[in-house]
Each structure stands twice: as C-alpha cells, then as structure tokens.
Structure 1
Amino acid sequence: MLQHLPPIRACIFDVDGTLINSEDIYTDIYNKILASHNKPPYPWRIKATQQSRGTPGTQRLLDWAELPLTVQEWQQKEKAYTHLFTASKVLPGVEKLLEDLATRTAHQLHLSLASSAGASKFALKTSHIPSIAKAFADKRFHVFGDDPEMSDAKKKPEPDIFLLALKRINEAARQAGGKEVDAMECLVFEDSIAGVEAARRAGMRVVWVPHRGLAEVCEGREEEVLMGRTEADGKVPRYGEKIGAEAKKLEPAEDGRLISEDGLAEMRASLEGFPYETYGIRIAGQ
C-alpha cells in the first residue's frame, strides 16, 4: 500500500464480467441476434465502447452493425435469450476473495454491489451461486441500473452508481454509530472501461480485471484506462487500432500487475491471489 493512501474500508463490486462469466454469455446472445440479420460477430474493439453504458452503448452497437433497429427493439430481441444466464459461473478467484472479505477480515469491511444491469437480471444470473448470495446478503447495499435513485443518463462512465453505493454504506455506518467511509477508502472491482472511469470520477481506487478479449484490444492503452481518461474528452477511443510510439507503456510490477502512475488503479488478469496487504486489508490467519 502506498504510504499516503488509507486502508480500504469498503469494496464495491460490478457483477457482469467481474464476478461471473456473463460477458461471454452476452457476446453469445449478441452474436445470435447479429447472425439472424446476416451481420458479422461482435468484436471486442466495439464492445469495449459499449459495455456498461446503457442506451448510448447499445446505440453504438447498432450503429456499428448498421442495423435498422431501435434500442428498444434490440433489447426485446435480447429477452428471448435471457434464460442462458442461468448457466453463469463465478470467475477465477472470486469465491475465495468474497469469502475472505465477507468473513475473515480483521476489521469490518463493507461490501456493496454496483451493476448497470437490473435487479431481476442479477437474480437470474446469480441465484444459483451461493458465494455471491452469502457475501452480499444485505440488500441495502445492492445498487442496480434500474434502482429508483438511478437513471439511464447516469450510467457509467458517470460516477453516480458508485457514489450511491457509498452513500448507502455511510447511511448504515451512521445508524450503527460508526465512522463514515471516505471515497479514497473504497476499492472498486470492475471489468469494463466505463466502470473504471466511473470509479475514478467518484474519487475511488480501482482494480480492473478485463476480459482477455478486452485486454487485447486495449494493449498499449492500459494507463489511459486506469487513469479514467478514456472518454474524458467526449471522444470514443478506437480500441484495437495501432497507436503511436509516443504512448507510454506500463511496466508490470513484480507480481505481474499493471499499476497506474498515481497508484490508484491496477490491472489484473484475474482475482486469484489478491494482494490484500497492498490495500491495508488484514485477513485473519495470514
């Protein structure tokens, strides 16, 4: 842990692609719909700009595919395949990480969910996964895209969903007579570029665990993503394209992580072997 950073007191998790393999299922669904319209498979260089972005993200998909459909028509087609999410599985390292954070920390650690997807989809994707149900049993700390306090205009990369999660954590802390949690004491776990940017805008620290397909198209732009600069200028990055020699290449740490220049974000291949001590999190027995 960097000397000037406080220990982490709250962990906020995205769901799709971070805790479970649902991004692969989404891609499969998208490809089935695209194939029915004689369109090519959905590439990660486009999905990188669509993930977690709600209606604007779906519109980017439609524009790329040149499909004469509205966002609502596309979403209706998706509904025919929602049953596929019942096959969702936890990603590597997730079960141990959640068990450690929920039951084995030396001091209380607040856990929250913050997903752009709706509450009913979350239930469909995770109701058969005991480790997620156990770690996030307190529904006060569930924030979804269809939450009454959220709106489509506030989806990632805007910080609203993470700020709302922190607001609810602190409401509970005050009621219990505890100390409120500062944004810099929050660690967000994300797989999407928009999610990383949203967390950075919220003033929080981030662990970015991208799908291997996303990691490939972002090669050379890792620092850009980790610093939350990908859409700050209002332009859509063209991932997967060759970038100039002036781009700064991040050098991996000894344990293989890529860490942003300011030390507030890191990129990992998976959640296996998570370095708790780096964030001031003490696990009993370790």
Structure 2
Amino acid sequence: MIADLAALPSDALRSELLAPNGPYTSLEVLERTGSTNTDLAAAARAGAPDRTVLIAEEQTAGRGRNTRTWLSPARAGIHVSVLLRPAEVPVARFGWLMVLGGVVVRRVVSGLCGVDAVLKWPNDLLVGPGRAKCCGVLAEAVTGANGPAVVLGIGVNVHQRADELPVGPGGLPPTSLALQGAECLERDRILVELLRELDIAERRWREHGGDPVRSGLLEEYRQVCGTLGQRVRVELPGGGGGTRFLHGVAEDVDDDGRLVVRAADGSTQPISAGDVIHLRPATHPE
C-alpha cells in the first residue's frame, strides 16, 4: 500500500453530495468499522431515511455474497453503503439493485478510471486483460418500522499492492485500480462519481417501478456482462448438502436476472444462485 494515503474529505463530500446540492440526505465517514452494510442495516431498522450514505476508511469485517469477507487496509480502498427505500418498487424487484450497483461501478471504473472492465454474473467486476477482480457488490434487504429497504454496499480496491489482496472465490485473481494503471486513483473523485451515477441509475429504475426492461437496466447489463458467451461451470447446491455441477455456455440473462446456461445436450437451465467459473475451452469436459 502507498504510504500516507490521504483521508477522505468528509466535509467536501457532504457539500457535493447532500441536499440541496446533491441527491443524498445524510453522509457519514467512519475511520474504522466492521462492516458499513451491517452498520447501515441497523440504522435502517431504526428508521434512517432514504439515500443515507455510510463510508468507512477501513473495514475489518466486510461481507460479500455467501458470507465471504471483504477486507482492506486503511485508506486503501472504497467501502460505501447506501440505504435505499424505493417505495414505488415491488419488493420482488429489490434484487435488481445488486445488478444495478455492478453496472454503475463498471461505468465509473471504465469511464473515470480508464480501466477495461466487465461484469461476471451476477456482480463481480473483472478488470484488465487478466480479468482480475477489483470490486464487490452486496445488496441486503432490511425490514423495519418504516417499511422495507435495501442496503447496497460497494467495495473497490484502489491502492492495494498485490501482497495485500486475498485470492477471491473460484480462484479469481485479485487486483486494484493502482495495479491496473488507472487514470484516476483519487478516492474522493471516484466516490463522488460513483454516488452520482448510482443516483441517476437508481432513480430511473425506481421511476419504472423497478422493471429491468423498461428502465434499460437489463439491456445495459447484458452489454457489459463478460460471462455471456463463455463456457462455464456452475456450482449448485445438491441434495444432502453436497454440490452438483452444471457445464455449458452462458447464453443470456433473463428478465428475472437469472443466468441461462445451455448444456452440451442442447437443453437450457436458468440459474438464480450459484458460483459461476469461466472455463477455458480445453478445461470443459466433452
């Protein structure tokens, strides 16, 4: 990690992002916490308002999908969670917010940071020619006195060295924006762009009742999903607590957000949950 990394300018972030100048209602920057998602979920249950933002300089117990951890040295990355209360959207569509978060962070990493990036279904951001992981997205539904909500958490590796990055799930190589030669490594600039793009995308999705087709979310996701067209192995829960495997080609993402895989016998199977591993052609069993 680069020494003497600058702290996030919390006052400047509030000035740019909080109403009336920005779209958010509350923003706090913590020096250190276990998990911004855990903290903000508790605040949501206690009645925190829509578009509350929580940022941490360091996470000691960050969480990803399937109870995985997401850790980072102090001031090396971005750890941000946003509380969203899309009252106009059926709860059944709340799951699309994880997809939306992935699409948004890909826009920023590709645009502002100038790093080639694609999404691995459903929400891993893979960057560079080696398709290494530098970002994770986690959306968690929360119910409290003020009704249902979603806490959307995004973690981005920005300044980490290679020896500070744990190997990801499925053997995904880890990386950071610094290791990829990103054009922008200023965490405050990345955060502002990320939160502004998130506001734009989430408002459009919300205005269309969370419909991924009418809002354009599904089409954009298909365009940037690097899993489509890949030969894949999907690890699925099997009977008796075991694991079963599906091999095939990832052909589409359907209107419910499921990955559609075509097996060797020509049959298709939609996958709503499971670990997807991209395979080189030579490793795919005939």
TM-score using structure 2 length: 0.28
TM-score using structure 1 length: 0.28
Q: Which has the higher helix share?
A: 1
